[in-house]
């Protein structure tokens, strides 16, 4: 019942806006500390946040909105935080080819001050990101509608360890839109959801599980 443009806060009893809000759709939210303290980051399809120019992504510090450099050239669909060995950074996936004026194919990294590509990026949009440890250390996992990651064949899902992209078996037969980590009692595993009906060549309608025990 309260005016709240595309983003709102629930404190347990009531809703409130975040400043004057955002000018368009928000598709992803996460918390990241860029060195100045934890803040909320919002990604989506918009051009302003709090009346300030912010292309596709913006930071809310609790009182005001601010852009991340010149932002993203298209739509942000997913956000997560990952440490590739040189410090935590914000990873952004979506449908874009530029981040902060730098070429970044559908995935980009924000270190708190500047944008950079992630290993050559993908061949098509990235719609899901999460961090999972398959037993060899934490890595970033990306899912979407791509066939290649960093020039390597990777059907709809790929792993970034910090230096190269690698596939997860033969991947899926259709796009992937959601990733999460869950321990069902047998140990942590990566769960994927999307439009696929096979994963790794095995029939798995719209949802599949990848664990450290998988080949």
**DSSP secondary structure letters along 33-85:** E-SS-EEEEEEEE-SEETTEE-SSEEEE-SS-EEE-TT-BSSEEEEEEEEE-S
Mean pLDDT, the chain, integer: 96
Q: Does pLDDT of 5 surpass 70? A: yes
Q: Which of 76, 123, 68 has its CA nearest to residue 101? A: 68
Q: What is the pTM of this model?
A: 0.95
Classified as helix, coil or strand, 14 is coil
User: Cα–Cα distance between 138 and 167 in angstroms, integer?
Assistant: 16
Query: How many CA atoms within 13 Å lie on the side-chain side of 10?
Result: 3
With a pLDDT cut of 70, the percent of the chain lying above it is 98
Q: How confident is the model at residue 213 (pLDDT cuts 50, 70, 90)?
A: low
Q: Does pLDDT of 215 surpass 60? A: no
User: Cα–Cα distance between 169 and 155 in angstroms, integer?
Assistant: 9
Q: Which two tokens stand for residue 140?
A: 């970033």
Q: How confident is the model at residue 82 (pLDDT cuts 50, 70, 90)?
A: very high
Cα-based torsion angle of the residue sequence 114, 75, 166, 115 in order, rounded to the nearest 10 degrees: 0
Q: With beta carbons less than 8 A apart as the criterion, state whether 77 and 83 touch.
A: no
């Amino acid at each position: 019942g309260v005016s709240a443009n595309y983003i709102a806060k629930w404190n347990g009893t009531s809703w409130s806006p975040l400043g004057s809000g955002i000018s368009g759709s928000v598709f992803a939210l996460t918390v990241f500390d860029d060195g100045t303290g934890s803040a909320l980051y919002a990604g989506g399809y918009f051009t302003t946040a709090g009346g300030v120019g912010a292309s596709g992504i913006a930071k809310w510090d609790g009182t005001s909105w601010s852009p991340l450099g010149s932002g993203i050239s298209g739509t942000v669909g997913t956000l997560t935080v990952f440490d590739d060995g040189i410090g935590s950074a914000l990873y952004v996936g979506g449908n874009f080819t530029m981040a902060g004026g730098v070429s970044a194919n559908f995935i980009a990294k924000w270190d708190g001050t500047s944008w950079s590509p992630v290993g050559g990026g993908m061949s098509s949009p990235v719609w899901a990101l999460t961090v999972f440890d398959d037993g060899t250390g934490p890595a970033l996992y990306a899912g979407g509608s791509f066939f290649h990651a960093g020039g390597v064949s990777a059907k709809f899902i790929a792993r970034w360890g910090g230096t190269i992209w690698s596939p997860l078996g033969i991947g899926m037969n259709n796009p992937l839109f959601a990733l999460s980590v869950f321990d069902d009692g047998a140990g942590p595993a990566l769960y994927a959801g999307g439009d696929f009906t096979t994963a790794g060549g095995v029939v798995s309608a719209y949802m599949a599980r990848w664990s450290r025990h998988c080949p």
